[in-house]
Amino acid sequence: MAVIEVRDVKKTFKVYFDKGQTFKEKILFRKRNRYEERAILNGISFDVEKGEAIGLVGHNGCGKSTLLKLMTKIIYPDSGSIKIQGRISSLLELGAGFHPDMTGRENIYTNASIFGLTKKEIESRIDEIIEFSELEQFIDNPVRTYSSGMYTRLAFSVAINVDADVLLVDEILAVGDAAFQAKCFEKLLDIKAKGTTIVIVSHSLAQVEQICERSIWIDGGKIRMVGSPNEVHPQYLEYMGQKRRPIKPAAAAAKSDPDKTVEKPEEKESAACITKAELIGEESSDSGKYRTGERVTLKIHYKAVPEKLNGVLVGLIFFRNDKLQCYGTNTQRERLTEFTLKEEGVITCEFDKLNLVAGSYWIDIALRAKDMFAYDYKAQAVRFTVYNNVDEVGVAKLDHKWKFD
């Protein structure tokens, strides 16, 4: 059963060039009130089933946050419809409605009532909200005395503990310190397990992959792709890697050096790019055929402009030929952050045992910045086949021994 129904939603905003602020300015300087209309959403339609979690991904300005605000009825669409069943809790603008001169406890009552809780419901869970925020010793102080981290922690704690049927989340999972962030993430997983429907906007694709069954990629106000995160995210990262590459305008290049030949856009490189990838077996060859349990080495050849790098992490994902994700990791997840890239080099990843059952596979490889945007993403960078004389099923080969007593 669909809990959320979004049908052909369109939203346009007026962007003023030089808008008069006062009534006098608007009358005397009418020509200043020039504006252009920008279509942010242009016919968005999708359904979300009860208990399902979906992620909205896309570049900044594509309309993700606007869509969430439409779903919470902060703003309304120009056309189309949005139907949501049940109580909604939104983690959009944390602390909206907090009064600086009221205590944390008083603001809990005010903010929770905005979410639709009765006084009796608030009183029954206020201890749980305070405990989750870890602000017991400050809860009766005015919130103007709180740090920004304390403020958002209290707001998050209220919103996450209202037992909503639908939870809308917009880029707020980086709340507080690392321990509190982990606590918030665990709480989201717990809420999902209880059957709450979740719509989340995040640039952290890893978080979306952990929480969501589906990802919706929005580009230019339209849905570009819908599917499992394992299908959508590689395509999105490859697109962002291409989009990120800096292109020097031809006019600017000609002006700075009229005699210099302007490079074609496709000749431009990003801050880092993968030039070649190869999987080497025990016989020092990249034949593309390896036996189960064989020792293999993945070599990633790259070129980079070190001074343009905004941190680096290297990621890889193994897929079976039916698009099943078999294994994925990156250097950030493995806490390998103390490395840099040279202008040209090779990144090596060794696998003592290729413990995959017989079948056809490929590897996607990514070079990303610390903000998770891709310098380069190579889908199906390496394709290979695993063979074995044992007819096993599944994905992984688990080492084992049989005993019969």
- Local confidence pLDDT in tens for the 405 residues of the chain: 789 999 999 999 887 766 656 766 666 666 666 777 888 899 999 999 999 999 999 888 888 889 988 998 888 999 999 999 988 888 776 666 688 899 999 999 988 888 778 889 899 989 999 998 889 999 999 999 998 888 888 888 888 888 888 988 887 665 666 677 777 778 888 888 888 999 998 877 777 877 888 999 999 889 999 988 878 887 887 777 665 544 344 444 444 444 444 343 344 457 889 999 999 998 777 778 899 999 999 999 999 998 888 888 899 999 888 778 889 898 888 888 778 889 999 999 999 999 998 888 999 999 988 766 778 889 889 999 888 877 778 888 888 888 998
Residue showing tokens 């897929």: 319
Continuous segment of H or E residues that includes residue 219:
strand 214-219
Helix, coil or strand: residue 84: strand
Contact between 92 and 65 under an 8 Å Cβ cutoff? The reply is yes
| Residue 245, Cβ density class (10 Å: 0-12 exposed, 13-18 middle, ≥19 buried) | middle
Could you give the CA distance from residue 242 to residue 367 in angstroms, rounded to a whole number? 12
Q: How many residues are given for the chain?
A: 405
| Residue 94, Cβ density class (10 Å: 0-12 exposed, 13-18 middle, ≥19 buried) | buried
Please state which CATH class domain 50-237 belongs to. alpha beta
pTM score above 0.75: no
Domains of the chain, residue spans: 50-237, 270-387
Could you give the CA distance from residue 53 to residue 311 in angstroms, rounded to a whole number? 31
* Cα of 357 vs its chain's centroid, Å: 31
Please state which CATH class domain 270-387 belongs to. mainly beta
